Amino acid sequence: MNIGEASGRSGLPAKTIRYYEDIGLIRPDRSDNGYRDYGADDVHKLRFLHRSRSLGFSVEECRQLLALYEDKSRASADVKDIAATKLTEIDRKIRELTELRRTLEHLVHACHGNERPDCPILEELSEG
Amino acid sequence: MNIGEASGRSGLPAKTIRYYEDIGLIRPDRSDNGYRDYGADDVHKLRFLHRSRSLGFSVEECRQLLALYEDKSRASADVKDIAATKLTEIDRKIRELTELRRTLEHLVHACHGNERPDCPILEELSEG
DNA sequence: TATGAACCTTCCTGTTACTGGAAGGTCAAG
DNA sequence: CTTGACCTTCCAGTAACAGGAAGGTTCATA
């Protein structure tokens, strides 16, 4: 498929997809006319990149995650180390998002119009 | 407190804290010697910024969240709209992180050394 | 067959959100 | 009174894109 369809299916702008090729994250085929030609596997990777980027992982971290995902010898120790590290990070992110969610919900439902110094939520914002 | 301590307590580099002042996210006092002087409230905001940035919110989104947090008239409709939108985004992020977590755990525990085409996890990576 | 819209290509510039470093002022300790 | 660890501003560089120009491709329609 062409870049437009890959863009539609992955949610990433075509510009970004070309950029990811520039920095070596993906390597699509080329058709005879010179157009990039993406397969289902490429779209999987692009969706994966779209997600992990939007969740606050850097491009270099995404590169590691992709390598993990592509690595043929998954049993190797360092690959497992990277995965374990990422798991810890993911758990932290989930915890922080949950707290942020709780805080926002308080802001909307509980704290309707109170002046700031009286509001106990202000403290919660910075804890953890 | 000086910027060094604010940096230590918030987890943000001093450089970044100065940048956030440049773009108007925070407004610390100044001591007589010209040094920036941060209060507990500033540190709260900085920790908040540190978190929400690392969770994939843009600086402009963080500015909205901060405004929400500072707004004296929290009952206003548009403030509630912004909060509701952010809550939806947060829920999506939590779902995606949970899926990513599951996938990584499979990669580490279940899929030890299989060749790629045989591994059912590859499909999971792009769904949702 | 041609012409126009909707694709695609590369290349170059601009933006966002920092990051590093130079040049120099401030402060507490020895 | 100097040394080292702070702090200041300013300017340049990087990361991760985004916008747009200039031009080739494809396909439906006149």
A114 vs B19, more confident: B19
- Residue B50 has a pLDDT of 94
| Mean of all residue pLDDT scores within chain B | 82
What whole-number percentage of chain B has pLDDT above 70?
77
Q: Please answer whether residues B38 and B28 qualify as being in contact, where contact means their C-beta atoms are separated by less than 8 angstroms.
A: yes
- Residue A69 has a pLDDT of 73
The answer to whether residue B73 scores a pLDDT higher than 60 is no
Q: How confident is the model at residue A83 (pLDDT cuts 50, 70, 90)?
A: confident
Judged by average pLDDT, the poorest of A26-40, A62-76, B4-18, B93-107 is A62-76
Question: Cβ–Cβ contacts within 10 Å for residue A42, how many?
Answer: 21
A-contacting residues of B 31-90, CB under 8 Å?
A: 41, 43-45, 47-48, 51-56, 65, 68-70, 72-75, 80, 83-84, 86-87, 90
Mean pLDDT of A103-124: 56
Kindly calculate the radius of gyration of chain A based on its CA atoms and give it in whole angstroms. Answer: 20
pLDDT digits (tens, 9 = 90+) for B45-72: 999 999 999 999 999 999 988 887 776 4
Q: Please answer whether residues A128 and A95 qualify as being in contact, where contact means their C-beta atoms are separated by less than 8 angstroms.
A: yes
Residue carrying structure tokens 């509001």: A119
- Paired sense of beta strands A36-37 and A29-30, if any: antiparallel
Residue A89 makes CB contacts below 8 A (sequence gap 6+) with: A57
- For the CA of A37 and the C1' of D24, the distance in angstroms is 17
> What are residue B106's phi and psi, to 5 degrees?
-60, -45
A111 and chain B: CB distance < 8 Å anywhere? Answer: yes
Q: How confident is the model at residue A103 (pLDDT cuts 50, 70, 90)?
A: confident
Q: Where are the domains of chain A?
A: 1-70, 74-128
Mean pLDDT of A2-21: 97
The answer to whether residue A33 scores a pLDDT higher than 50 is yes
| Mean of all residue pLDDT scores within chain A | 82
- Residue B70 has a pLDDT of 75
Residue B68 makes CB contacts below 8 A (sequence gap 6+) with: A104, A107, B74, B79, B82, B83, B86
CATH of the domain spanning B1-70? 1.10.1660.10
- For the CA of B47 and the C1' of D28, the distance in angstroms is 57
pLDDT digits (tens, 9 = 90+) for B76-85: 666 677 788 8
The answer to whether residue A28 scores a pLDDT higher than 70 is yes
- Residue B118 has a pLDDT of 42
- CA atoms within a 13 Å half-sphere pointing along the CA-CB vector of B24: 4
- Residue B66 has a pLDDT of 87
Q: Where are the alpha helices (DSSP H) in chain B?
A: 3-10, 14-22, 40-54, 59-70, 77-105, 121-124
CB pairs < 8 Å spanning A and B? 121
Mean pLDDT of B72-98: 79
